[in-house]
Amino acid sequence: MIGQHLLVKKSGPLHGTAHLYGAKNAILVIMTALILTEGKSILDNVPNNADVRLMIILLEQLGAAVSFDTKAKCLTVDTTHINKSEVHPEIMNKIRASILVMGPLLARFGTASVAMPGGDLIGMRPINYHLEGFKKLGVEVQLQPPFVSARVIARALPSHTRIVLDYPSVGATENIMMLAVLSNTETTIVNAALEPEVYDLIDVLKKMGANISIAPAMIIIRGVSKLLPIVHSIIPDRLEAGTLLLAAAITGGSITIPNARADHLDIFIEKLRAMGHCVTTGFESPTFSPVGISLQATKTPVAISIKTAPYPGFPTDLQPLIMAALCTAQGISTVEETVYENRMMHAKELSKMGAQITVEGATATIRGVDTLYGSNVIAADLRASCTLVLAGFLAEGETKISGVNHWLRGYDGLDEKLNNMGASIMLADDSFIGQDDQKHTQISL
């Protein structure tokens, strides 16, 4: 089979308006939450990316009837005939978020059998918090690596169950919450993740009839006996917004994203401003609305420091991308990663392009240079692929990025949106390396 790579040429300044599709990290968990109901639900603003298509296959294998209008971005899922609680290891290996079926399957059928998603290059990514939380809710877990099977052994629980997470894990918070909504106890998740995507899941669960309230760093779930199908529009993808804002910033351009949520990106926006970019949001309008973000780039960005943290801290998923922008910012920047133990591989690839980066432990120090140079680089994960695309816009000549499967996982037509703003990104077959640009197939990713 012929592999593919991304070809990026020096681009910009990029100018334009872009519209965001739904957040990948919200739609995937919300698709699993539909297992909690019996009937037809309709989800709107659904991105057509590889992870969503895999999650559709997973739901179909469990017995759901799914139809996806990829033009209208509308997904219809009928969960009436779901009759399996085992997930094929093959699917589990392809999509980490499939672990999020465990909570809903346990809630609906009392059993769940899955293969544990392995670690990946950015970290070990264990699921111990998920499993410990399940146990507190009366579940017995059996581990036979790579398989994990679980079953509810205690339906009658104490009236209150308190689950304290060691770290505000997004996935563990979501999985535990999806089991707790159909239990007969009141569950408090302490040190819960409260990312916008977790809030979107909570909105969905409440529409279904769940009883959930939020206190500082806590989620309180009072179990109910039945949940109903829903109609819901997925929140806009804050990480896609971050990518587009950085594309305009890095190339000295401008962008307006009318449906971006400024309240989902507070620290990120402040960091762009600290670099010298002019960012305006709906909060600066007379209506003081969180909706809408515009950026006008400075021609002379300056160095800043960032440290990743759970929301509302700086999002780890935008850490690699902002590093690309810091490569040519005047002065010395520092970037500290606290969420994943090994999320610095992109630094090595950026260095191949001429960036001056030293990494010590979890901290990268970046000395701004005048320019980058096109090179052959490897994307090790989804956000690293965007990082290298952004660096490619800055770099003299052409940047060839392998590891395209990562790029395909998480976005719907992002290349098209960037190309509409004046960028040059193409998906090309490896067999065309070194041949005429005209021979590169330009297709929507």
Report the DSSP pairing between strands 218-222 and 211-215: antiparallel
Residue 340 touches ligand UD1, criterion: CB under 6 A: yes
Residue 64 near residue 77 (C-beta atoms within 8 A)? yes
One-letter amino acid at 164 equals: V
Shorter beta-carbon distance to ligand UD1: residue 87 or 421: 87
- Residue with CB nearest ligand UD1? 171
> Quick one: CA dihedral 361, 362, 368, 374, positive or negative?
positive
Amino acid sitting at position 401: I
DSSP string, 49-63: -HHHHHHHHHHHHHT
| CA–CA distance, 167 with 180 (Å, rounded to integer) | 19
Cβ at position 111, least distance to ligand UD1 in Å: 20
Q: Give the chain's radius of gyration (CA, Å).
A: 22
> Which listed range, 54-62, 76-84, 164-172, 415-423, lies at the site for ligand UD1 (CB under 6 A)?
164-172
Of 134 and 432, which has the nearer Cβ to ligand UD1? 134
**Residue 180: C-alpha distances to residues 26, 55, 255, 282, 374 (Å):** 19, 22, 42, 36, 51
Q: Which is nearer to ligand UD1, 340 or 407 (CB)?
A: 340
* 23 belongs to the binding site for ligand UD1 (CB under 6 A): no
By CB under 6 A, residue 25 contacts ligand UD1: yes
Q: Which is nearer to ligand UD1, 126 or 158 (CB)?
A: 126
**In angstroms, what is the minimal distance from the CB of 436 to ligand UD1?**
38
Residue 415 makes contact with ligand UD1 by CB under 6 A: no
Candidate list 28, 139, 260, 395; residue touching ligand UD1; CB under 6 A: 28
Crossing angle, helix 196-208 and helix 24-33, to 10 degrees? 30
From the list 55, 66, 107, the residue with the least C-alpha distance to 85 is 107
Nearest CB to ligand UD1, comparing residues 193 and 394? 193
**Contacts with ligand UD1 in 267-326 (CB under 6 A)?**
316-317
CB of 372 to ligand UD1, least distance (A): 25
Neighbours of 9 (CB within 10 A): 17
CB-nearer residue toward ligand UD1: 340 or 393: 340
E strand map for 227-353: 231-233, 254-261, 278-281, 291-296, 305-307, 332-336
Burial class (CB in 10 A: 0-12, 13-18, 19+), 389: buried
Near ligand UD1 in 69-98, by CB under 6 A = 97
Length of the chain: 445
Q: Which of 158, 167, 371, 435 binds ligand UD1 (CB under 6 A)?
A: 167
- Which SS3 state, helix, strand or coil, does residue 37 take? coil
139/152 Cα distance (integer angstroms): 4
Is the Cβ–Cβ distance between 345 and 266 less than 8 Å?
A: no
Residues 119-148 that bind ligand UD1 (CB under 6 A): 123-130
- Cβ nearer to ligand UD1, comparing 78 with 197: 197
The least distance separating ligand UD1 from the CB of residue 344, rounded to whole angstroms, comes to: 14
- Using CB under 6 A as the binding rule, whether residue 406 contacts ligand UD1 is answered as no
The least CB distance from residue 123 to ligand UD1, in Å, is 5
Closer by beta carbon to ligand UD1, 49 or else 281: 49
Q: In terms of Cα–Cα distance, which of 66, 3, 73, 69 is closest to 32?
A: 66
> Nearer to ligand UD1 by C-beta: 28 or 421?
28
Minimum separation from the CB atom of position 64 to ligand UD1 (A) = 19
User: Which among 200, 199, 162 has a CA at the least distance from the CA of 180?
Assistant: 162
Measured CA distances, 436 to 43, 270, 431, 433, 439 (Å): 43, 42, 12, 8, 6
Interface residue with ligand UD1 among 33, 46, 152, 339 (CB under 6 A) is 339
Q: Identify which of residues 319 and 399 has a Cβ nearer to ligand UD1 in the complex.
A: 319
Residue of 169, 254, 333, 387 that binds ligand UD1 (CB under 6 A): 169
Site string for ligand UD1, 170-189 (x = CB under 6 A): xxx-----------------
Q: How many residues belong to the site for ligand UD1 (CB under 6 A)?
A: 22
Closer to ligand UD1 at the Cβ: 166 or 270? 166
Residues near ligand UD1 (CB under 6 A): 25, 28, 97, 123-130, 167, 169-172, 193, 197, 316-317, 339-340
